[in-house]
Amino acid sequence: LNRRLDGLGTTIFAEMSALALRTGAINLGQGFPDTDGPESVREAAVRALRDGHGNQYPPGMGVPELRTAVTDHQKRFYGLDFDPDTEVLVTAGATEAIAAAMLALLEPGDEVIAFEPFYDSYAACVAMAGAVRVPLTLRAPDFRPDLDRLRSLLTPRTRLLLLNSPHNPTGTVLTRDELTAIAELAVERDLLVVTDEVYEHLAFDGEHVPLVSLPGMRERTVSISSAGKTFSFTGWKVGWVTGSPELVAAVRTTKQFLTYVASGPFQYAVAEALALPDTYYEDIREDLRTKRDLLAAGLADAGFTVYAPQGTYFITTDVAPFGEKDALAFCRALPERAGVVAVPNSVFYDHPDAGRTQVRFAFCKKQEVLAEAADRLRKAFA
Ligand code: PMP
Ligand code: GLN
């Protein structure tokens, strides 16, 4: 393994899901729902397969039906206009979009500012591009970005801001004021911004504002989303990038040599998913809000310090009240102790001391599963 990837051996999600399989514990670690997305969308995938839509290489930019569905979605929810022919690129999930964007936009030695704790692929992709990550730490209990600190991190080598809102794992939803300040800085310093918006429809408190909608951002923002979270199809790996023709062409160049294309028949199905009525989007958000409240109450009862998330389907907690010193060791022992799997946030920090005892629980699970997990944790800890 080359030295760029030092320390990035196995993702924590794979380790913790394997632990769940081995022990039979309830898996609140890796973020995937235990209920599949809408039946009509699954049927659309079956139809596409059966009718021969997408069984051979789809177009490099993605099938036209999906690119148009993405632009319709951006218009319907945010009033944004994109050209489906030149400003949308379909990818193998948001994961490939992030990798392709980093490889396309960064020179070796460029600095990338991202909020820590970060989603694990950010560190890996910045490293693979030979660039340098510069973390802006979100600190408990609020996990708001310190914008003065952000300004102080800028150097002549700063090339790109990698933003994620709603934020995994803390659940922070950036406010319009925070985004405006970030946008002003990006314009002033002529920075590119890549926004990971995979949880765009899972904002319970506050509203998701796409950074690209703010003044000066249209020409410098690459926006990324995917079908995994919004439609509960994490296995389909259908994601997309929107941005100016120049930026999308740049990302397409690297994407071509990563997968070229992916998920042919599923692209047609996701086109139908994006066109679901507003009530679909409201229902999934409200369902997850209820689940958030259920698990948050259970964790608090068991004695965890709970940082209620404004968005995503994760709750960050602190296990220091139990006298614990290390979230990774805590999570490795948790299945034996309580029959539950969680993820240590400490591995998402470059400065692990900032999150040494933070543990994340996913609540995209059936209510009875969350209730059972809360019960087990209460018995083990309260
Ligand atoms: N970004 C964030 C913040 C995520 O939590 C995830 C995990 N699902 C991804 C990107 C990856 O998305 P996808 O499954 O579409 O590749
Ligand atoms: N995004 C999911 C999470 O944060 C996991 C994705 C993955 O396993 N790479 O749990």
Q: Which residue has its alpha carbon closest to ligand 2 atom 1?
A: 31
Give me the mean pLDDT over the 154-183 stretch.
98
**Mean pLDDT across the chain, nearest whole number?**
97
Q: Tokens representing 91?
A: 């990818």
Q: What is the pLDDT of residue 6?
A: 84
Q: Which residue has its alpha carbon closest to ligand 2 atom 8?
A: 13
- Per DSSP, the residues of 10-70 read S-HHHHHHHHHHHHT-EE-SS---SS-S-HHHHHHHHHHHHTTSSSS---TT--HHHHHHH
Q: What is the pLDDT of residue 37?
A: 98
Q: What is the pLDDT of residue 4?
A: 87
What pTM, to 2 d.p., does this model score? Answer: 0.97
Q: For 199-221, how does the pLDDT look when each residue is reduced to its tens digit (9 = 90+)?
A: 999 999 999 999 999 999 999 99
168 lines ligand 1 (CB under 6 A): yes
Alpha helices (runs of H) in the chain, residue ranges in sequence order: 12-23, 39-50, 64-78, 93-105, 120-128, 147-153, 176-188, 227-230, 245-258, 264-274, 278-302, 327-338, 367-381
Q: What is the pLDDT of residue 2?
A: 85
Give me the mean pLDDT over the 217-234 stretch.
98
CB 258 within 8 A of CB 100: yes
Q: Is the pLDDT of residue 323 over 90?
A: yes
Q: What is the pLDDT of residue 5?
A: 85
Q: What is the pLDDT of residue 352?
A: 86
Q: Is the pLDDT of residue 143 over 90?
A: yes
pLDDT band for 327, please (50, 70, 90 cuts): very high
The secondary structure of residue 198, as a DSSP letter, is T
Q: What is the pLDDT of residue 40?
A: 98
CA pair distance 150, 145, nearest whole angstrom: 8
* CA-only gyration radius of the chain, Å: 20
Distance 119 CA to ligand 1 centre (A): 8
Q: Which residue has its alpha carbon closest to ligand 1 atom 7?
A: 31
339 lines ligand 1 (CB under 6 A): no
Q: What is the pLDDT of residue 272?
A: 98
Q: Is the pLDDT of residue 189 over 90?
A: yes
The full set of domains in the chain, from first to last, is 3-30+279-381 (3.90.1150.10), 40-276 (3.40.640.10)
Proportion of the chain above pLDDT 70, given as a percent: 100
164 lines ligand 1 (CB under 6 A): yes
Give me the mean pLDDT over the 6-10 stretch.
82
**In DSSP terms, which residues pair with 163 in a beta bridge?**
195
Q: What is the pLDDT of residue 26?
A: 98
CA-119 nearest atom, ligand 2: 4
CA-168 nearest atom, ligand 2: 4
- Which of 120, 22, 17, 112 minimizes the C-alpha distance to 346? 120
CA-30 nearest atom, ligand 2: 10
CA-234 nearest atom, ligand 1: 14
335 lines ligand 1 (CB under 6 A): no
CA pair distance 139, 196, nearest whole angstrom: 20
Q: For 30-64, how does the pLDDT look when each residue is reduced to its tens digit (9 = 90+)?
A: 999 999 999 999 999 999 999 999 999 999 999 99
Give me the mean pLDDT over the 97-124 stretch.
97
30 lines ligand 2 (CB under 6 A): yes
**ipTM score of complex:** 0.97
pLDDT band for 9, please (50, 70, 90 cuts): confident
Q: Is the pLDDT of residue 276 over 90?
A: yes
264 lines ligand 1 (CB under 6 A): no
Q: Which residues of 352-379 are buried (b: 16+ CB within 10 A; e: fewer)?
A: bebbbbbbbbbbbbeeebbebbbbbbee
